[in-house]
Chains A and B, each alone.
Chain A
């Protein structure tokens, strides 16, 4: 196995280990989106009981794994109630997601408008920001791996050959 792949696999959370999930209001979520070091940031809003959200999540996590070495950050924000935190952590852990994950608290309107004023709040929704926090794209509905590859790849570092 090439060293880079070996390192990447060691960095991956073992599937089944619950992902760390923080209950957070907008400022902490914005800080996670805008933290330095990413070339592109995908923000997905979902919920554990939302079937379309659950259906797209494996593609999102796989896309994250395949592209994080090129500078992709994925921030997952659950609209579940606080008492579902363990379930949210279990679902994301089962997929091996080890990026920033939140359960959102606080005012819906501020949250919605911060991500995209054109969004009306329906789940799921995914937003693409560049490394400076400038929104480049919104998907109001489910996304696929190919949707993401088409739009996100141009923002990322080129793969090293």
Chain B
């Protein structure tokens, strides 16, 4: 379908609502915001057993924080691409950390040992840490897995959203949102598309 006619359809259902809908939760860090001070130095256990904070992994060119997990089919579908981007841009000066904020009591697959196994099998060269109170995810306003937050070298949120436009068929991706944003931030530029959305699993917040 042509983009213009799709926009018309969205206007019919979406804009006709005109804000009448009362969303029960929404939000997330605003573009330009910094990592919330309350959690920037929160230590989280990495799959190698060491304790790391987002401040510890901050890169010279920027910092990428991705909320993800083991069990979610959406996160799994994008996992290979997330790891590849993380490994690639970590070598280009972007600090990268993958964060699992899910309560493993709700999904045993999201437990620490399973994270270690996943990190090994996927060849992760970047930290994959446990947000063991879900407090970091809450402070970010993260609600979905996977959900990416990319900060520029000044520490300001430059990109927030999903990975690309085709979860199911990697070879048919047309818009590589996160890759393009990483490329821009690594080059000291603003991403052309700073905010996106994708379907995902709700984060299984701990108590």
Contact = CB atoms under 8 A, between A and B. Distances in A.
Contacts, number: 123
Interface in B189-207: 196-203
Contacts of A133: 12-13, 16
A25 B165 CA distance: 14
Contact of B24 (A27, A117, A141): A141
A56 to B, nearest CB: 12
A62 interface: no
Point out which of A49, A113, A120, A121 has the most chain B C-beta atoms below 10 A from its C-beta. A120
Nearest to B145: A122
Given A25-B1, A120-B143, A115 B24 contact: no
Contacts of B17: 116, 129, 134-136
B22 interface: yes
B4 interface: no
A116 B200 contact: no
Contacts of A69: none
A79 B168 CA distance: 11
Nearest to B25: A140
A120 B21 contact: no
A47 B147 CA distance: 18
Nearest to B5: A27
Interface residues of A, number: 46
Interface stretch (A4-12, A14-22, A88-96, A104-112): A104-112
B162 interface: yes
B36 interface: no
Contact of A127 (B1, B21, B168): B21
Secondary structure type dominating chain B contacts: loop
Contacts of A118: 21, 23, 26
- Categorize the interface residue count of chain B: 35 or more
Secondary structure type dominating chain A contacts: mixed
Contacts of B197: 108-109, 112-113, 119-121
Interface string B145-177: 001000000000000001001011000000000
A27 B13 contact: no
Nearest to A79: B199
A114 B162 CA distance: 17
Contact of A137 (B1, B18, B21, B199): B21
A111 to B, nearest CB: 8
Nearest to B7: A110
B10 interface: yes
Nearest to A125: B202
Given A49-B73, A120-B197, A122-B201, A110 B10 contact: yes
A108 B25 CA distance: 19
A135 B200 contact: no
A139 B24 contact: yes
Contacts of B196: 109
21 contacts: A47-B73, A108-B165, A108-B167, A108-B197, A109-B197, A110-B6, A110-B10, A111-B199, A116-B17, A116-B21, A120-B143, A120-B144, A122-B143, A122-B202, A123-B199, A135-B20, A135-B21, A136-B21, A137-B22, A140-B25, A141-B25
In the A-B complex, list the 7 residue pairs whose CB atoms are closest, starting with the nearest: A135-B17, A122-B202, A118-B23, A135-B21, A118-B26, A122-B144, A108-B198
Interface of A: 25-27, 30, 33-34, 45, 47, 49-52, 79, 81-82, 107-124, 127-129, 132-141
